[in-house]
Structures are given as structure tokens and as C-alpha cells.
Structure 1
């Protein structure tokens, strides 16, 4: 069986840099075999416009590489692509290693907060497998929180999952007075309205040469795909609230889908006593993505904190 083409430009530590080994994946998840197709280039692949095929591929990847034996959630929830999500985790590890003489801090002493974890719990599940970090995860949707807790339990992961009871807040109501985190991460809803999200979905179908379907973004609830003001307002709120927890987190970070959003965020960050801001570019195939990171600690202090993790 041929392996699909190499996924270019993924992080060097990403397990999926060499494409998908469908022999291994179908052995781990036999249901995947029913979705395999042959591309015009005579390579084995799946139809990435088929929700069920993509979800089954992700289930196989999680079983094969991340010790996740059970991963399921309702069809209307967002189904995240595993290689791209894991890339964020690896670049976050690099962020910490830059403050730790090039060594990535691992183990449960590294505390990470995932904002908007969703029903898939994808960042904590992959992050615990790759670096054994201790994760806290939050979401505003009670059903997603319930499903995420079930995934953690089924896969024997000790992940602290919280319901954000006040959707207008991000860190308030999630970070307690005694909490300390080395990283926060977030994949924010980037559309500003339902209409914008629907238009984005139509473009995706057209790019795949398919007729548009009714489901948004190949799966995804409203709160997963859009919020008032889009990602610019969401991350701006995150920045404002981060100031209240400046001494409780080493690095605050968020994915930024639209490059033009960066200027808005940099302007907001200039209003706060932030010591350092980093914009980290990532790329998956032809798609370029990025995340923004900010810290209220000077580098010397961050290095001291990271050194303590290795003791």
C-alpha cells in the first residue's frame, strides 16, 4: 500500500511529516479501510470532503500515535485535523525551550491551560501524549465539557476540565487565585457572524470542487466557529483579561487565523505592561498559520522559572 504524499512544512517533531502510513492506520482502526481511495497520482488517501472519512482518519491517528483508544463526539461538533493541531503543541514546546537553554520542559510540573477545548479535547489529549504536560481545559458549552470529561476518563488522562459559566469572559472564572500556568493556548472562533461562517464554508466546498452542503465548516457548532467581533475581538478580550493574571502565567498564546488581525492585537498589547510579544509562523502544506504569544515576565525571570521545572 502506498503512503500519501509528504505533508510539507509541518514542525520537524510532528509525527505526520512523512504523510500517512495507511497500512499502520488501518491496522489500528480497521473502519478506515472503507474510506480509502486512490488519487490520480496513484497514492492512497481519503476524500477530505467526507466528514466521516476525516473523523475516522483522526481516530486512527490518535490511536496509532497518541495512545487515544476512544475518540468520539456528535457530528455537529468541530472535527479538528490532528497534524495541524499537534503542530501548535510542538511550537509551544519550542517557546518554553527558548527560555530553558534549548531544552523542552516536560512532565506534569508544566501546567497548560486550553481555552475553548471543545468536545474533542484534542490539545490536552495530544499534549499529554507528546510531553506529559498537566492540562486544564475550559469551554462555555456544558455538553462539550461533559463529552470532554468522558474522553479524558475513557483514555485514562488526568485533565482538569472546567465549564466557563460566563461566556463574556475568558480567563476570569477559569483561573483561580492559586493557579499557576506556564502556557495558555487557544483556537478562537474567527468568524464575526453566522453569515461569515457560512460563506467560509461555501468557499471550502468550492475549493474542493464540491457542491456546498448545509453543514458549517465540515462540522462545528456556532460557538466553535464565530463570535461577535470575530477573532480580533475574542483575542483582544483575552489580552485585556490576561493583565489581571499577569503573575500567574508565563506565556499567553492564541492562534490567529487572519494575518490582518495581528495589527489590532499588537495595538491592544501596547496598552498593557507586556514584556515580550512573539508571532510564530506555522505552515501545513499550502496553508500558513500563526500564533501570537505574550508574556509579562522579562526573559531573565522566565529563564529562572523554566530552570525550576528541570530541578
Structure 2
């Protein structure tokens, strides 16, 4: 397996550039190749989140020293990187999630520039596969005219996830803090309704790409195992939502999860599998481009970014 970590791509196809040169906008990508496929992560920018959005339900007395260890504060906003995974496999060019678009947060929605820097246009994408329907993963699927941005692509979403966001009752049950999530998801899924392909847990959605149920963050959240022979990487979406406490204390509830109890159980099981099998993972909100491994510690796990 050949790995290139933190490859810096400059807009306009100018090739590699060094951070801090000021010559255009840079997008960090992590790239690996195995079994005839190439997997990259491209930045959609980042989210700015109130700390309470994640830390709110966690045990306060135990939380404080851990935050200090990670250089975090319960009072300061969190910057969450957004890593969109791109799979190149022969004629297939597959995006896992579509980014936030221009209607969510001004710090996100940079995917088009990252694709351009990688030498791709929206019409080059053959498949868009969704982990779940939250804004930073789904809202970038439409262009400024509310038409599908990836016009030549087949769009795929887990059946349970689609049913949740398409249900008109969701807007009344999701809670006021996420009402806009439900409204925005339904509007976009209505546009895709006649073109969506559904799948269930365990399905091979594309050659060598298997869907793995990882419910809890949302009711139908899916992860995806990209495998060629004995080599594999797991695209975990938001099932492992950050590079600090999601690893150090995976059993703790996170305010970012819609079903906090189920999400914690899912996170524990997923980390146990990844650490035991030493399978690489890509997380949408993990640091260093999102690619790395889960390493078991005495009381939890830690995220180890993939070495270049």
C-alpha cells in the first residue's frame, strides 16, 4: 500500500504547493493506493461548533482534565475539519458525501475547489454515496439553481437513512436545534427522489465497497469498507466524530449524536474492530486529512494519523 499524507493541492491545477506561500487557496489531501484503487481525502473546509455541542452531556468532573490534555476548552468553539473521501477505481470516480455547499456555514463548502485542485469537475463524478443526511454531508449535492451538482452521478443512500429524512414527521420530532437539518435534507432529497439508489447493511454497493451499519449519530448512518484482498480502509463518516474524546472515551455520550446511547455503543464496537484488525479508517471530522488507525490504550483508544 502506497500512502502520501497531507499532500497539498493548489487550485487551478498548479500541482503541489507549500503551505503559507499565499499563492492561492490550498487544500490538504491524504492519499493511499492499494489493489488498483486510489483513495483520497479532500477538504470541504471546516465547521465552527460550540463546545457544548459535543461536550454538553459528558461528565463534567472527568471531562476537564481530558480537555486539558488535548489542549481544548469547554468554553471555546471547536474547529472541526471536513474530509470528503474520493475513490478512484478504473472508470468509477466515487465521492463519499457531498460536503456542505454554500448554505450551511461560511467556513465550509469548499469541495468544488478541492475537486478542481485534484483535476476533477462535478461531471466527472460517477457515484455519490452518503453516510448520512446531516447538512455538512448532504447539502452540497445541489448547485446554485437547486439542480443536482453531480449531474452524471448515481446517488446512493441507506434505506433507513433516507426514510428518516424524507419522513415529513421528522421536522417535528428532531428537536428545535436541528429543525433546519430536517427541512434542508427533505428539500434536497425531493430533488434526488427519482434518481436515488437504496441499499441496506452488508450490501456490496460497488465492487469492493460494502455498507456497514453504524447507527446512532443518525438513525440510518452508514460506514463503508473499501477492500481489495487483505487490504482495506473504513470510511466511518461521523460514527467516530472527532480525534480526541471519541477515541479517548468512546462510551461517553456526545451531544452531536441524535441517539447518544446507540451511537456510543456503535463507536465502541467500531473502534474495537478497527483496532483489532488494524484496519485504516477515514473520519469526516478527524485531523490530518482524516486517515489513520485506532490504537488501543489502557482506558480507551487514540487516533494515530497515517505516517507519510
In the superposition, the TM-score normalised over structure 2's length comes to: 0.33
Higher strand share: 2
Q: Normalising by structure 1, report the TM-score.
A: 0.33
